[in-house]
A and B are shown apart, each in its own frame.
With several copies, the nearest count.
Chain A
Amino acid sequence: MTQESSASLSDIAAQAGAWLDGNWDPELGLVEWRNKLVDSGWGMPEWPAQWYGRDFGAAEVRTVEQEFARRGVVGVARAGIRLLAAATLLEHGSEEQKQQFLRRILTGEDTWCQLFSEPGSGSDLAGSTTRAERDGDHWSVNGQKVWTTSAQHAHWGLLVARTDWEVPKHKGLSYFIIDMKQNGIDVQPLKQMNGHASFNQVFLTNALVRSEHLVGAVGDGWKVAMTTLSHERRRADGVRSGYADIGLQVEKSGRIFDEERDELATVMEPYSWYPQRAGRVDLAAPRAIESGRIEEPAVRQELARLLTMSASAEWTARRARAAQRLGKAQGPEGSLGKLAASHVARQASRVHTLIAGSDALFAGPQSVEDGIIAEILLSTPAVSIAGGTDEIQRNIIAERVLGMPKEARVDGGPFRDVPRNPTN
């Protein structure tokens, strides 16, 4: 079934509703229910029919989601990076890999993490120096990864490692699935300047990967990783909202909701400061008003600047989504969101400082807004770094959107000869 299918959206809503009528029970166990969802094809209807889905297009998926939301029904596991893993496996994985991993991704039994970034290659993923070498029936992996969310409780990792040092950097990488629960892996939390430790460093010392857990061919690592990253970017653009708009209206009680809440609490814990990182524009005007600082002309000017920037960034994102929804060629507006977010966060930090005045000297639960303001001031610098620095974003916009010449490459030769950061 595709978007051109003859089944009307209301037929689909009726079918999904009928199945839910017959199967949904909030007193089921979370995994038990999700196994039912997986078998029915209603849990992830955009996936292929042979892999727990229904080949649905965007409009049909939205219809199903609305049906779930209306009833407050728990869906398959989506949080964290598990769906990036699934999307990558659906495109590049072997039959056996799909068989082994996809179901347990959807039921939430397995959690995943992403072992891409390294201390020496932040903006430059293709410069990875983690080394994977064949060792009989296995691959043996040595190196260090960083910025790995949830590494401490993940079962599986998506790993990019170098398997060939004699070819140009993009060609010598391979992509693996690595078992995170093994002796060769040491996970250390990485504390940030705002006091949170949402990420980890992962030290790999003769860590083992089973041969059958190579994804794609040897040397395909860059191509496969691009699939993972393109899904990450799409998610970051907010095209898929995940849990956000599902089931807010319905009273939620029952065993399954308790289990889901526990699951979410674990998965979402690293993200507790993300709203503050974005600058909490929602708090700016209310705080200015409640504190009386809105009487201050400098506060008024800077607040208005923030509101202008933030609203027009939001409207720009909606222009991009509207174009996408209509299948129109996307203008430059689609590539600007990340850079706009940095400007908004920086200006928000300025405004919150202006409003706080000498209260900006304090942090912690006794400080203004239970420490939220201090957390904003110490978190906004991450927006312009995480997930592609502003510098990389500006390169991408200039080169891909504006058609300006690419930077001359000096790292095109065999990777062995490319100058790089020392590793320790």
Chain B
Amino acid sequence: MQFHFSDEQEQFRMMVRRFFERQCPTSATRKLMDDELGYEPAVWRRMSSELGLAGVALPEQFGGGAFGAVEEAIVAEECGRSLAASPLFASSVLAARCIHKVASSADCERLLPALARGDRTAALALSEPNAEPSLSGITCTLTVDQDARLSGRKHAVIDGANADVIVVVARLAGSTGDAGITLVEVDPGATGVTVSVQQPLDPTRKLAAIEFRDVQARVLGEPGEAASGLRRALNQALIALSSEMVGGASRLFEDTLEYTKLRMQFGRTIASFQAIKHRMSELLLSVELAKSAAYFAAEACAADDPDLNYYASLAKAAASDAYMLAATEAVQLHGGIGFTWDADVHLWFKRAKSSEVLLGDASWHRERMILNLPAEVSARRAGQAE
């Protein structure tokens, strides 16, 4: 583990940050909140062609940028800071990553380059209503005979209403647990597919419910063998999400700090009140700790650490708590103004809340940590350590 970014990585971060600052100010975000697509195609094209971000998560052979998990985390963190709207998380991080980890080379060749170029977008249909966020809870059912037919319901499919291709996590009929988990590709226009937009709590994250009624599907990879590949892909997505979250938390922290230094009450800035100072110190601690957890997880991911389940869940649990704390404190310290629609705080508040429960909430990930304790944590160390 390096515990620092290289100069190249820092330069890459600043380039991405400047791009988002120019292209994705909150004025643009606000317009996109009411837009059905939810992002600006021209900006997405530039993100893809000029910066290569659409392929950030993919290897060169499939048109990707040959970036590592750390660079992907940097991009995600900057997305979280700016709330830049794009299909990046849904298509590049979630869907393309799952395809890459599960599908055959031929299918990767067929699907990924267009996604890596940003010419097409994909959505991952994973979450199901009233189910816990684990693969074993999947109920969407696939019957594989001459062809593969898919039935079931998904919800909260990010950018699901406008994707060119839908990738669905399903299970073979009659299977349970990890066994039988299969990734399939579905044409959104196929017979039996009903996509309906769901009103999101966070209007910067577009969601759709998708119902599949005996829909023709194309299996990616071996039927029933997708679980371990998906788990690796989802760990990486969790780390990207955690990075996005600590980016948002940092931004809220900085904006709030700046506001306390400007806002006067009782003839002095509210930053001069000791109670505010102490809370800002505690908030900084919480955000910086979550940041370290996300950075470590990204490095662990890049190093293919065998305990990635543990570190990814640790990062998500830390990010969930820190982001919600930052969001709550940001509204509170902005006072009445912080509760208005016109102030920007609520944009991140809503992102914090939706991120908190996306891909499993903090308590679910804490439980997952305990189920995946690394040996150096679960065993007594030789001698007494401090």
Contact = CB atoms under 8 A, between A and B. Distances in A.
Direct chain A–B contact by Cβ atoms under 8 Å: yes
Interface of A: 117, 119-124, 127, 146-147, 190-193, 195, 274-275, 278, 282-283, 285-286, 289, 291-292, 294, 296-298, 300-301, 303-305, 307-309, 311-313, 315-316, 318-319, 321-323, 326, 328, 331-333, 336, 339-340, 343, 346, 353-354, 356-364, 366-367, 374, 377-378, 381-382, 384-386, 389-391, 393-395, 397-399, 401-405, 407, 409-411, 418-421
B292 A285 contact: no
Interface string B195-217: 00011111001010000000000
Contacts, number: 270
A319 B3 contact: yes
Interface in B1-31: 1-4
B268 interface: yes
Interface residues of B, number: 90
A331 B207 CA distance: 37
Contacts of A146: 336
Contacts of A420: 264, 267
Contact of B361 (A192, A312, A354): A354
Given A193-B340, A363-B201, A301 B367 contact: yes
A402 B280 contact: yes
Contact of A419 (B264, B378, B381): B264
Contact of B335 (A301, A333, A385): A385
Contacts of A405: 268-269, 271-272
Contacts of B263: 421
Interface stretch (B51-59, B61-69, B169-177, B345-353): B345-353
A122 B378 contact: no
B331 A391 contact: no
Nearest to A305: B366
A398 B332 CA distance: 18
A336 B285 contact: yes
B274 interface: yes
B317 A394 contact: no
A106 to B, nearest CB: 26
A398 B337 CA distance: 23
Given A308-B314, A319-B295, A393-B281, 7 more contacts: A122-B337, A308-B369, A358-B357, A361-B358, A385-B335, A394-B275, A402-B257
Given A286-B378, A311-B293, A191 B385 contact: no
Nearest to A278: B386
A243 B155 CA distance: 42
Interface of B: 1-4, 127, 129-130, 132-133, 155-156, 198-202, 205, 207, 257, 260-269, 271-278, 280-282, 284-285, 288-293, 295-296, 314, 317-318, 328, 331-332, 335-343, 345-346, 349-350, 353-354, 356-358, 361, 363, 365-367, 369-370, 373, 377-381, 384-386
Nearest to B261: A404
10 contacts: A121-B265, A122-B335, A192-B341, A195-B341, A303-B370, A304-B370, A346-B328, A381-B338, A389-B335, A405-B268
Nearest to A191: B341
Nearest to A333: B288
A378 B293 contact: no
A405 B282 CA distance: 17
B284 A336 contact: yes
A136 B278 CA distance: 48
Contacts of B365: 304
A322 B299 CA distance: 14
Contacts of B130: 291-292
Contacts of B262: 421
A339 B281 contact: yes
B284 A283 contact: no
A419 B358 CA distance: 45
A147 B271 CA distance: 24
Nearest to B363: A298
A3 to B, nearest CB: 19
Given A316-B289, A326-B4, A358 B281 contact: no
A182 to B, nearest CB: 26
